[in-house]
């Protein structure tokens, strides 16, 4: 079997009154991530991890922020398109491990819904989707609630 591992990272600015999508789930929040698509930082990091593992470059190559096709689009669709690219190269996903870093809102209550949404798009069991959340202990732009980051690791195989 051919195993590969990829790493992804993403960051988005938080903006007052903007919707906040995380892991394919809309969260109730005073601020939301801003970007060309729905700015789902967790799914963007995950797409990058998957693409990197398959040596398919990164999310910006496939879903340019200058292309109106992707404007405002759900990042679940970007994840679906990423999986099509992996499938074309003969890969399947083994498991993924993701971490999101932000001060608010609390993420833990939403993790089961995120796992379900992601597992469905990846074609794997929810148990193979790990999502963790942490704060930045009030330090830096994350601590000031100006932004959110996410990182992800993905194992793929043929």
CA distances to 30, 67, 92, 153 from 6, in Å: 33, 25, 13, 6
18 is in an annotated binding site: no
153 is in an annotated binding site: no
3 is in an annotated binding site: no
Q: Please give the model's pTM, rounded to 2 decimal places.
A: 0.97
137 is in an annotated binding site: yes
Which of 41, 46, 49, 53 lies closest to 2, judged by CA? 53
21 is in an annotated binding site: no
As given in the structure block, the two tokens for residue 47 are 């797409």
Q: Model confidence over 66-118: pLDDT tens digits?
A: 888 888 899 999 999 999 999 999 999 999 999 999 999 999 999 999 999 99
58 is in an annotated binding site: yes
Which of 150, 60, 61 lies closest to 102, judged by CA? 150
136 is in an annotated binding site: yes
Distance CA(26)–CA(135), nearest Å, equals 19
57 is in an annotated binding site: no
Domain containing residue 147: CATH number: 3.30.1330.50
Q: Which residues of 88-104 are buried (b: 16+ CB within 10 A; e: fewer)?
A: eeebebbebbbbbbbbe
Domain count, the chain: 1
* Structural domain for 58, as ranges: 3-157
12 is in an annotated binding site: yes
82 is in an annotated binding site: no
As given in the structure block, the two tokens for residue 30 are 């005073």
Q: Model confidence over 7-35: pLDDT tens digits?
A: 999 999 999 999 999 999 999 999 999 99
Q: Is 127 exposed, middle or buried (0-12, 13-18, 19+ CB in 10 A)?
A: exposed
pLDDT of residue 65: 86
Distance CA(49)–CA(122), nearest Å, equals 13
134 is in an annotated binding site: yes
Contact 85, 128 (CB under 8 A): no
Coil, strand or helix at 32:
strand
């Amino acid at each position: 079997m051919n195993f590969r591992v990829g790493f992804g990272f993403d960051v988005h600015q938080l903006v007052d009154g903007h919707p906040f999508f995380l892991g394919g789930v809309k969260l109730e929040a005073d601020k939301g991530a801003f970007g060309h698509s729905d700015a789902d930082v967790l799914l963007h990091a995950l797409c990058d991890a998957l693409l990197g593992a398959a040596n398919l470059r990164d999310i910006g190559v496939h879903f340019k922020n200058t292309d109106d096709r992707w404007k405002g689009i759900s990042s679940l669709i970007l994840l679906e398109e990423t999986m099509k690219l992996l499938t074309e190269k003969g890969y399947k996903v083994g498991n993924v491990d993701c971490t999101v870093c932000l001060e608010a809102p609390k993420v833990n209550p939403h993790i089961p819904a995120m796992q379900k949404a992601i597992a469905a798009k990846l074609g794997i069991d929810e148990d193979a989707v790990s999502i963790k959340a942490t704060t930045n202990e009030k330090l830096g732009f994350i601590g000031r609630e100006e932004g959110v980051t996410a990182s992800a690791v993905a194992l793929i195989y043929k």
